[in-house]
Amino acid sequence: MVPTRMGEHPMKLFDELKRRNVFRVAGVYAVVGWLLIQVGVAVLPTFGAPPWVAKVYIALILAGFPIAMILAWAFELTPEGVKLTANVPEGESIAPKTGRKLDYVIIGGLALVGVMIIADRLMPSFETRPSGAPQDEGKIAAASIAVLPFADLSPAGDQQYFSDGIAEEILNALANVDGLDVASRTSSFAFKDREAARVPEIAAELKVRHVLEGSVRKAGASLRITAQLIDAESDRHLWSETYDRPLTAENVFAIQEEIAGAIVAALSDVMGTAGAAAPAVEVAKSTTDLSAYDLYLQARALYQRRENLEEADALLGEAVERDPNFADAWALRAATLSLFKEYVETDRSYEDIGKLVDAYAGRALALSPDNARAIAARANFRMTASWNLALKYDIGAIIADLKRAVALDPRDSSAVNWLGMIYAQVGESDEAVETFAACAAFDPFFGPCAENYYDLLVVQERYDEAFAQYQQVLAKGIVVSGWTNFSMLAHFDQKAAFMQATNHPSWLPGWRRHDDLYEAFKHPDEDHSELISDIEEHLRTHPHRGVINFSLLLIPIGGFDATPFANNLWAPDHARYRRSPQFKAYIRESGIYEYWRANGFPPQCKPIGKDDFECE
């Protein structure tokens, strides 16, 4: 049998392709390939596979198509095995019989495709959540509790910070008890101003079975603290007590410890500890100076809200002056200063702030070597200084410090958030997503983690999940300032929301070209140099509120001279920037390149020669 050559008459070629079952093989491959892709895309995330694995899997299936066509043309299946078509004698070919079998495979495959499509339409959908993301299973653990902020019943009504501090210390003590699930401080304290909400409603939203509420009356030299434990399922009191003591630091800590111990005893049945020795509950006696402790609680309230940080620093200065051995106050002062360049419009240099952060954190660690907040605060400042190219630090050491801080205090949302951010900066987006997802799981009302989580989902091009998370953040009212992801809004054609965001006082209030900026985000590859110049001129001549990284507006449209923000460095809208000389300079100057050389390059980058690299 003489094979048909590719240059012969088209009809002869078509007939030969048909005779050799090339079209049938193409059909089988298409159907089977589609089914394999559907199964792979559904199954791979279940095993924690990163997104690039699915992409490679699909690419390999697609790449196999032309290979299958070549093999179908060149070879034939015979009773003696696979032979070159040219070597099959005329009259001995069983291609027609093979073709009928392939027809059956195609028909069966198409039937299965139809079943899958119908099932997808008719069956309820199940949202795939990343590892560590918040789950809403509808089942609430019996051994779970939320500690609400205590009411301030002091005569002047000016002691809310003190009442909050009492509740927070009890919460922290309970959080260290094995077998007890405690809602995060941010989540519980989100209900501070919702007086009309009933306990069962609050418990349902926080997904806990029990709620501790109370009040504090601080008058002169006396202190009264009342606390009551409520079973939200039955809406009845399980325990209540009132403590009247002289106002001293020793009594404040003693009452906190007694309340926490009473809660653990009251919940012994649901915790499975009834009849056994109650788990130890201890509140750290951090100072013996009541005034220093009061100043510390005032500063901590400001730090938690990221408000008036300069005032918080001054209060902590007074606290450590009264008690130089107050390790927690030294650590909180370091943490407060580490946020200055992010939350405070200050002329203080990175060098000056860095020296103070190191000094305060060092003093805290000298007094308390495992002080997680001090370790995290020092690392956070160094991370911020590095990515803003103000100072250069060892990024590997920063990551090690943040991992140690989180290991010491896994519920410190700030430290967990900072760890996610440094992962994001060096291009380890899988680790960043996992970290932000875990943070959002145990502290769903903590704005920085929630917002960074959807930013990193955008980095991984998981737009639908990112947009769902973004809307959840808005629905819960936990937005930090005017933070948003402009590229995500442009991706979903959310023009009104995009322009509402860019008009926010933290971004470009009073500017006149928000619609042009939106169109630039929709068409980033065009020349937007004139628009970039106009934005830069507006920023020079108009003061803006807050400390915002305007690279989020400039880099996606070609403003590559801006210093990038860590979370968005690897986003799709920064792809052109990553091919620019400015990007390479940034990677070298920030210390990221040294980290890569010591610890390995991320999947999107590769080394070139002895001292160069390129990234996608």
| Residues 296-320 pLDDT 10s | 999 999 998 889 999 999 999 999 9
Residue closest to 340 by CA, chosen among 357, 328, 326 = 357
Phi then psi for residue 7, to 5 deg, are: -90, 0
CATH 3.40.50.10070 residue ranges for the chain: 144-285
Q: List Cβ neighbours of 353 (8 Å cut-off, separation of 6 or more).
A: 337, 338, 340, 341, 381
DSSP state of 507: S
CB-count burial class (<10 Å; 0-12, 13-18, 19+) for 503: middle
Supply 109's token pair: 């495959």
Pairwise CA distance, residues 50 & 63, whole Å: 21
Q: pLDDT-derived band of residue 326, with 50, 70 and 90 as boundaries?
A: very high
What are residue 145's DSSP bridge partners? Answer: 182, 210
Share of the chain above pLDDT 90, in %: 59
Q: Give the residue-averaged pLDDT of 17-23.
A: 70
Q: Count the residues in the chain.
A: 616
Quick one: pLDDT at residue 80?
62
Class of domain 144-285: alpha beta
Pairwise CA distance, residues 424 & 565, whole Å: 10
559: left (phi over 0), alpha (psi -120 to 50) or beta: beta
Helix or strand holding residue 241 (H, E) = strand 236-246
Quick one: pLDDT at residue 82?
64
C-alpha dihedral over 528, 529, 530, 531, to 10 degrees?
A: 50
Is the pLDDT assigned to residue 328 strictly greater than 60? Answer: yes
Going 585 to 588 to 589 to 595, the CA torsion angle's sign is positive
* 395 and 418 Cβ atoms separated by less than 8 Å: no
Q: Specify the 3-state DSSP secondary structure of 266.
A: helix
Pairwise CA distance, residues 339 & 330, whole Å: 15
Indicate the residue type of 6.
Answer: M
Helix or strand holding residue 354 (H, E) = helix 350-367
Is the pLDDT assigned to residue 376 strictly greater than 60? Answer: yes
Is the pLDDT assigned to residue 95 strictly greater than 70? Answer: no
Helix ranges, 132-248 (H):
160-175, 185-189, 199-206
Cα 334 from chain centre:
24
Quick one: pLDDT at residue 63?
80
Q: What is the mean pLDDT of the chain?
A: 86
Secondary structure of 510-550 as H, E, C letters: CCCCHHHHHHHHHCCCCCCHHHHHHHHHHHHHCCCCCCCCC
Q: Give the residue-averaged pLDDT of 410-437.
A: 95
* 195 and 130 Cβ atoms separated by less than 8 Å: no
Q: pLDDT-derived band of residue 64, with 50, 70 and 90 as boundaries?
A: confident
- Choice between 559 and 46, residue whose per-residue pLDDT is larger: 559
- Choice between 607 and 481, residue whose per-residue pLDDT is larger: 607
Degrees to nearest 5, angle at CA 168 with 165 and 170: 110
Is the pLDDT assigned to residue 128 strictly greater than 50? Answer: no
Q: How far is CA 51 from CA 19, 40, 419, 602, in A?
A: 41, 12, 21, 14
Pairwise CA distance, residues 593 & 81, whole Å: 55
- Choice between 66 and 294, residue whose per-residue pLDDT is larger: 294
Is the pLDDT assigned to residue 49 strictly greater than 60? Answer: no
Is the pLDDT assigned to residue 129 strictly greater than 70? Answer: no
Q: How far is CA 95 from CA 4, 9, 56, 203, in A?
A: 16, 22, 34, 70
